[in-house]
Amino acid sequence: MLSHALLARTPLAVIVIAQLFGTSLWFSVNGVGLALQEAVGLSESDLGLLTIAVQAGFITGTLLIATTGLADRVRASHLFAMSAVLGALINAAFIGVAESVTLAAVARFLVGLCLAGIYPLGMKLVVSWTPTHAGSALGWLVGMLTLGIASPHLLRGLTLQLPWQWPLLLASALALLAALMIFKLGVGPHLPARANGGRPWAGLAAFKEKNFRAAALGYFGHCWELYALWALVPFLVARELERLGAAPGLQPWLSFAVIALGLPGCVWAGWWSRRIGSARVAFIALAVSGTLCLIYPLLGDLSPWLLLALLALWGVSVIADSAQFSALASASAPPERLGAALAMMNAIGFGLTIPSIVLGTALWASQGPWVIWWLLPGPVLGLIAMRGLHLRTHLRTTQP
């Protein structure tokens, strides 16, 4: 039996594992995308629409909990658990409506709405239990988010001979387990008292802080690139497997590997942040992923093995900066409005994922790998926004 005393011995491990299980709902449909194309007749654009629906639901949910104050007035563990249970049920219900693109999109929107109670609240729970070394702790959390998003591809690989419904049901079962773990764990002792009332849009007040603004703008550029790349990974992997003449059954395994490599990337970035600071780590990781975004299409006719290797490196770097942006924002936001500020930052950042996903999935058929250049403005503008914070941090750490 799970007990609070047992779970509280290793709260960070409990939270990050629950984050892994809960966020398996995020790309659960993408993991069976090729099977859905065959079984239901969905197109690449339809799959893009379902991905966008999740993002739109997440944005709506984060705005809702930020503007109503739910992020700071409701016990974080209760909101996380309730969201995970509802998300699991709606994700399973998708199976019954998959043949209708409209109803399927509504179901995915509702899953995204529930994810807004999992991801931002997971960050708040980490801060409540481990307030020191936030960059390192959040690195584990975002790493598990990455593994959770990759897990549908793994689940599909494990159930390749079974109907496409199985990975969705397994993802729902994992989300239910996540709800139980967090409900039993509860909230840590290192948060201020819950806010009573407050003005709508109070989370926007954090943008008055120069460092919060720089971190948030860098995060927005990161978001433009990240989720569009993750949505394109199955197509990019399938392209290289076709050029190699390899079995299509390898596609879910390699897609999982590319995205899941973000876990060691996040952990490494968190470890490094304790030595050189979160701002410098975020700047370097964003520069690496931006460079790959620039050169990948230029190398598209070279060896498929080289392209797969570059995808692997991209999988490591593209998410490594995410936790560091959150750590920088957490350190600069008003403590009594931490949940609202993080939720607001998430809402704006994920709003920017929608046009990039639309461009990537809609133009893939006509542009192939060159569609990646539509993602390039994100890291470029993010680096420009982060330059001042990066330099200020560098000067502080090098002064005698």
Nearest CA-CA partner of 188 in 127, 128, 120: 128
In this structure, what DSSP letter does residue 132 have?
Answer: S
Is residue 23 predicted with pLDDT exceeding 70?
Answer: yes
C-alpha closest to that of 222 among 274, 281, 307: 281
- Give residue 387's pLDDT: 82
What per-residue confidence (pLDDT) applies to 109? 96
Q: What is the pLDDT of residue 68?
A: 77
Question: Where does the pLDDT of residue 395 fall: very low under 50, low under 70, confident under 90, or very high at 90 and above?
Answer: very low
User: Which pLDDT score, from 0 to 100, does residue 308 have?
Assistant: 95
In angstroms, the CA 197 to CA 182 distance is 25
**By percentage, how much of the chain surpasses pLDDT 90?**
37
Per-residue pLDDT tens digits for 133-158: 556 677 777 887 788 878 877 877 87
As to burial, measured by CB atoms within 10 angstroms (0-12 exposed, 13-18 middle, 19+ buried), residue 247 is: exposed
Residue 72: pLDDT over 60: yes
User: Mapping DSSP to helix (H, G, I), strand (E, B) and coil, where does residue 188 land?
Assistant: coil
Sequence-ordered strand ranges (E) for the chain: none
For the ranges 36-50, 60-74, 144-158, 167-181, the one whose mean pLDDT is highest: 167-181
Interval 221-251: pLDDT, tens: 999 999 899 989 999 999 999 999 988 888 8
**Domains of the chain from N-terminus onward:** 4-186+202-398 (1.20.1250.20)
Q: Kindly report the CA angle at 216 between 84 and 267, in degrees rounded to 5? A: 60
3-state secondary structure of 162: coil
Cβ atoms of 285 and 226 closer than 8 Å: no
Within 10 A of 175 (CB to CB), how many other CB atoms are there? Answer: 31
201: left (phi over 0), alpha (psi -120 to 50) or beta: left
Distance CA 291, CA 294 (A): 5
pLDDT at 71: 64
* Cα 302 from Cα 277, distance rounded (Å): 37
| Highest mean pLDDT (candidates 10-14, 27-31, 148-152) | 10-14
Distance of CA 150 to the CA centre of its chain: 10
Nearest-angstrom CA–CA distance, 266 and 142: 7
State the Cα–Cα distance between residues 306 and 259, nearest whole angstrom: 17
pLDDT in tens, 364-393: 889 999 999 999 999 999 999 888 665 555
Contact between 229 and 318 under an 8 Å Cβ cutoff? The reply is yes
pLDDT at 8: 65
Is the pLDDT at 289 greater than 50, yes or no? Answer: yes
Q: Taking the C-alpha atoms of 285, 290, 296 and 299 in order, what is their torsion angle to the nearest 10 degrees?
A: -100
397 pLDDT more than 50: no
**Cβ–Cβ < 8 Å for 147, 26:** no
Nearest-angstrom CA–CA distance, 368 and 299: 13
The answer on pLDDT for 57 being more than 90 is yes
pTM score, two decimals? 0.77
Residues 6+ apart with CB under 8 A from 386: 214, 215, 217, 218, 279, 282, 283, 286
**398 has a pLDDT exceeding 50:** no
Per the model's pLDDT, the better-predicted residue between 273 and 257 turns out to be 257
